[in-house]
């Protein structure tokens, strides 16, 4: 009898102890960051960031918008997806764009640069706020890119315009009303929790600009106690011009980027995520000429490749205002008079209307201690008064904590 009672009590204790250890799911969530928000250039915003009624900060004369959002703290395995849709609000050009999150563990950030709390000249004279570092007990970590994208030529706003009616090639049924991109960013979950600042940069110079919507989707596992791996993210480099005190980055034409970083514990299953695009609108610029990117870690080359997209003609339906020319006028040894659009040309890892897929480079396990990452583009061209060459490059490391 005592044995049966003991067994009964043990089962009851086991039941309640197991019940208490079950992790309560938070459920799937969609966080709407921006909804049909107009991003545009206006010198009236030069006085510094100020929150509007929609709690959006407008920086760098309006070409950067930033908003603080609240994100659930997921414990169970969760997949995260970023979704972006965009239309022209009157800007007819293709422009570089970057969706980013400001790391919460940085002492100074983009917001400090814009509101005058920190002078960018204290970081570096020529190209400040490019690499992570610590100086005089102040730590700076660059923005983490959630998505790199390129706007098309005039998508949506000019779809029904008479000026583009005759430019539509017969092989597309109609001009698109908008362009949309989605990417899996589950590996960035360690920086997507609690309250974070999420922002968008588009290199527009018009008062019309673009209309953009951004959402973050979180799909939580349906399996009980399916806990996620404990991971972390280390930002290293971001050359995108987010702040008004920065310049477009043509320094690859002069030197190699070097990032020294120290870690106090080994990184398990480490991966380097590398995003790169070349720019320079003139015919022989870095936008249109193949350039090798070389990445080394601690003196060993871990990646060498030429970032290139040769499928840009497949995005023609998003580019109603793209200029066109007869093939025999712009291509050597070409006799055809068939029209070729600017948006058809191959480019340095992007097309007008495309997103950019990061290169993911396995690093295996990184030992504790000091490390050095270098990024070089040996044949990158310098920017001049008439030729605007620059590279948007960002890199960060993800790794497991256990």
pLDDT in tens, the chain (402 residues): 555 555 555 544 444 455 557 878 778 899 999 999 999 999 888 766 655 557 899 999 999 999 999 999 988 889 999 999 999 999 999 999 999 999 999 999 999 998 888 888 888 777 888 999 888 888 999 999 999 999 999 999 999 898 888 888 989 999 999 999 999 999 999 999 999 999 999 999 999 999 999 999 999 877 676 566 788 999 999 999 999 889 899 999 999 999 999 999 999 999 999 999 999 877 789 999 999 999 999 999 999 999 999 999 999 999 999 998 887 777 776 677 788 899 999 999 999 999 999 999 999 889 999 999 999 999 999 988 888 899 999 999 999 987
First to last CA, the chain: 46
Between CA 253 and CA 389 the distance in angstroms is 9
Q: Does a structural domain hold residue 111?
A: yes
What pLDDT sits at residue 295? Answer: 98
Q: Does a structural domain hold residue 16?
A: no
| Structural domain total, the chain | 1
What pLDDT sits at residue 8? Answer: 54
What pLDDT sits at residue 5? Answer: 57
Q: And the tokens for 167?
A: 């430019």
Nearest-10 Cα torsion for 240, 68, 25, 267: 40
Q: Does a structural domain hold residue 9?
A: no
Q: Does a structural domain hold residue 2?
A: no
Nearest Cα to 101, choosing from 134, 69, 73, 74? 69
Nearest Cα to 204, choosing from 128, 151, 249? 151
Please give the C-alpha separations between residue 28 and each of 31, 74, 85, 194, 311, in angstroms, as whole numbers. Answer: 10, 10, 21, 16, 35
Cβ(369)–Cβ(262) below 8 Å: yes
Q: And the tokens for 159?
A: 């779809």
Cβ(42)–Cβ(62) below 8 Å: yes
Nearest Cα to 96, choosing from 233, 243, 226, 205? 205
What pLDDT sits at residue 118? Answer: 87
Q: Does a structural domain hold residue 169?
A: yes
Radius of gyration of the chain (CA): 24
Q: Does a structural domain hold residue 59?
A: yes
CATH number at residue 315: 2.60.120.1570
Catalogue the E-assigned strands of 2-52.
29-39
Q: Does a structural domain hold residue 7?
A: no
What pLDDT sits at residue 238? Answer: 97
What pLDDT sits at residue 179? Answer: 98
Cβ(67)–Cβ(55) below 8 Å: yes
Q: Give the DSSP letter string of 38-84.
A: EE---GGGGG-----TTS-EEEGGGTEEEEEEEE----B-EEEEEEE
Nearest Cα to 389, choosing from 319, 305, 284, 318? 284
Q: Does a structural domain hold residue 1?
A: no
Provide the domain limits for residue 242: 23-400
What's the pTM?
0.90
Q: And the tokens for 325?
A: 């020319």
What pLDDT sits at residue 226? Answer: 59
Q: Is 308 exposed, middle or buried (0-12, 13-18, 19+ CB in 10 A)?
A: middle
Q: And the tokens for 155?
A: 């998508």
């Amino acid at each position: 009898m005592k044995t049966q009672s003991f067994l009964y009590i043990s089962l009851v204790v086991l039941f309640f102890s197991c019940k208490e250890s079950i992790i309560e799911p938070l459920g799937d969530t969609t966080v709407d960051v921006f909804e049909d928000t107009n991003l545009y250039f206006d010198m009236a915003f030069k006085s510094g960031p100020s929150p509007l009624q929609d709690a959006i900060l407008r920086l760098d004369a309006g070409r950067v918008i930033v908003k603080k959002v609240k994100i659930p703290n997921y414990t169970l395995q969760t997949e995260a997806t970023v979704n972006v849709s965009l239309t022209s609000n009157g800007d007819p050009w293709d422009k570089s764009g970057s969706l980013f999150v400001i790391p919460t563990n940085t002492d100074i950030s983009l917001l400090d640069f814009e509101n005058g709390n920190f002078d960018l000249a204290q970081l570096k004279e020529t190209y400040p706020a490019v690499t992570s570092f610590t100086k005089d007990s102040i730590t700076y970590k660059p923005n983490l890119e959630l998505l790199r994208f390129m706007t098309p030529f005039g998508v949506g706003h000019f779809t029904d315009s008479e000026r583009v009616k005759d430019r539509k090639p017969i092989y597309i049924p109609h001009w698109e009303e908008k362009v949309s991109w989605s990417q899996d960013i589950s590996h960035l979950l360690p920086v997507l929790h609690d309250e974070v600042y999420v922002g968008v940069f588009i290199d527009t110079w018009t008062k019309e600009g673009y209309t953009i919507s951004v959402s973050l989707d979180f799909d939580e596992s349906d399996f009980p106690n399916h806990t996620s791996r404990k991971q972390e993210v280390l930002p290293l480099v971001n050359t995108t011009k987010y702040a008004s005190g920065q310049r477009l980055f043509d320094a690859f034409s002069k030197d190699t980027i070097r990032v020294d970083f120290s870690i106090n514990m080994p990184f398990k299953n480490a991966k380097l995520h590398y995003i790169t695009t070349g720019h320079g609108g003139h015919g022989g610029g870095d936008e249109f000429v193949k350039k090798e990117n070389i990445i080394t870690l601690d003196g060993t080359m871990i990646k060498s490749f030429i970032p290139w997209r040769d499928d840009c003609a497949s995005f023609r339906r998003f580019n109603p205002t793209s200029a066109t020319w007869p093939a025999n006028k712009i291509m050597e040894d070409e006799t055809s008079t068939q029209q070729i659009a600017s948006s058809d040309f191959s480019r340095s890892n992007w097309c007008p209307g495309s997103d950019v897929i990061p290169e993911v480079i396995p690093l295996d396990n990184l030992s504790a201690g000091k490390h050095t990452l270098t990024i070089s583009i040996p044949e990158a061209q310098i920017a001049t008064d008439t030729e605007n060459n620059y590279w948007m490059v960002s890199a960060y490391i993800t790794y497991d904590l256990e």
